[in-house]
């Protein structure tokens, strides 16, 4: 949708009446702002590696895209949860070295007769890139995040408290191979005995094949401190394939992919999870 808006702005700039009417001058100002902003985005992205964003692990790279994810989770007791959206949404680079993510609350649908369907909490994320070098100058990146989820979800699907998630993210590439990792801790502003303070360590290992193909394997590990699950560890393995970035028009592209997440520890939230993703970078 944002790409369409930008395209409409360009069309207005071409068809507006002369500046003497007052409209052309305003349109030119808006167009100049958009052009300057997109030039900044291109400039700052050129200073970092050009890997693709993994399925589950949040990339340390600064991205600008619209993203939608879909999960199909199944547990050993027969419970299935379909997650619409995955908390993804709009990713923007408002200025050099920074990115903001405005997620959309995921909708959770269960095969449960108790009617526990509903929206999860509303997620937000801010990235600050600390160090980076593109493929010609070292192929690495180091970024700090701060995540926040507002307790807007329904009683069953929300946490009931705001949660702050400081994160350190990093990555390194060698030729066609790269890894991207995040280490984070989720700190609730209440309900510690129930929610705990989980520490999460995710890593994606990727290999670039041909022009658009990125096969990967991810490890998604969580260790729980405090709370009902204190001391428990959970590990998922997630093989997957991402395809992109496929050019569509000018800056606009398409990236999509799929993966299959499998629990390998006895303590787990679910057994299996089919992960689908679609992104429109711009």
Over residues 246-266, mean pLDDT: 96
DSSP 51-93: PPPPSSSPPSS---EEEEEEEEEE-TTS-EEEEEETT-EEEEE
Rounded distance between C-alpha atoms, residue 60 and residue 178, angstroms: 12
Q: How many beta carbons lie within 10 A of that of residue 260, not counting itself?
A: 14
At 155-200, the pLDDT tens digits run 889 999 999 999 999 999 999 999 999 999 999 999 999 999 999 9
Residue pair 35/6 in contact (Cβ under 8 Å)? The answer is no
Rounded distance between C-alpha atoms, residue 30 and residue 28, angstroms: 5
Sequence-ordered alpha helix ranges (H) in 98-235: 192-195
Instruction: Please give the pLDDT value at position 23.
Output: 58
> Is the per-residue pLDDT at 152 higher than 90?
yes
Integer angstrom CA distances of residue 171 from 12, 88, 134, 206, 216: 41, 21, 11, 11, 14
Over residues 255-279, mean pLDDT: 96
Instruction: Please give the pLDDT value at position 9.
Output: 35
Looking at domain 46-281, its CATH superfamily turns out to be monomeric porin ompg (2.40.160.40)
Q: How many beta carbons lie within 10 A of that of residue 131, not counting itself?
A: 12
pTM for the whole structure: 0.86
Give the closest residue to 57 by CA, choosing from 265, 217, 165, 264: 217
Q: Which two tokens stand for residue 47?
A: 């200073």
> Model confidence at 114, in pLDDT bands (50, 70, 90)?
confident
Provide the percentage of residues in the chain whose pLDDT is more than 90: 82
Rounded distance between C-alpha atoms, residue 181 and residue 184, angstroms: 10
């Amino acid at each position: 949708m944002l790409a369409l808006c930008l395209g409409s702005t360009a069309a207005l700039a071409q068809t507006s009446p002369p500046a003497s009417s007052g409209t052309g001058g305003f349109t030119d100002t808006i167009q100049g702002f958009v052009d300057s902003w997109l030039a900044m985005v291109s400039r700052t992205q050129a200073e970092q590696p050009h890997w693709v964003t993994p399925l589950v692990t949040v990339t340390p790279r600064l991205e600008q895209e619209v993203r939608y994810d879909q999960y199909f989770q199944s547990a050993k007791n027969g419970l299935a949860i379909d997650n619409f959206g995955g908390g993804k949404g709009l990713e923007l680079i408002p200025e050099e070295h920074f990115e903001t993510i405005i997620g959309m609350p995921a909708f959770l649908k269960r095969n449960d007769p108790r009617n526990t369907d509903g929206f999860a909490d509303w997620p937000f994320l801010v990235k600050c890139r600390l160090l980076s070098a593109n493929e010609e100058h070292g192929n690495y990146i180091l970024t700090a995040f701060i995540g926040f989820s507002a307790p807007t979800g329904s009683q069953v699907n929300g946490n009931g408290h705001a949660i702050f998630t400081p994160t350190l993210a990093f990555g390194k590439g060698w030729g066609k191979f790269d890894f991207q990792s995040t280490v984070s801790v989720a700190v609730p502003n209440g309900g510690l005995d129930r929610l705990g303070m989980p520490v999460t360590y995710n890593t994606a290992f990727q290999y670039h094949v041909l022009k658009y193909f990125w096969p990967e394997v991810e490890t998604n590990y969580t260790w729980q401190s405090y709370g009902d699950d204190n001391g428990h560890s959970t590990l998922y393995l997630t093989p997957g394939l991402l395809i992109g970035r496929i050019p569509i028009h000018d800056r606009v592209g398409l990236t999509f992919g799929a993966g299959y997440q499998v629990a390998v520890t006895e303590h787990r939230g679910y057994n299996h999870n089919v992960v689908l993703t679609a992104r429109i970078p711009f």
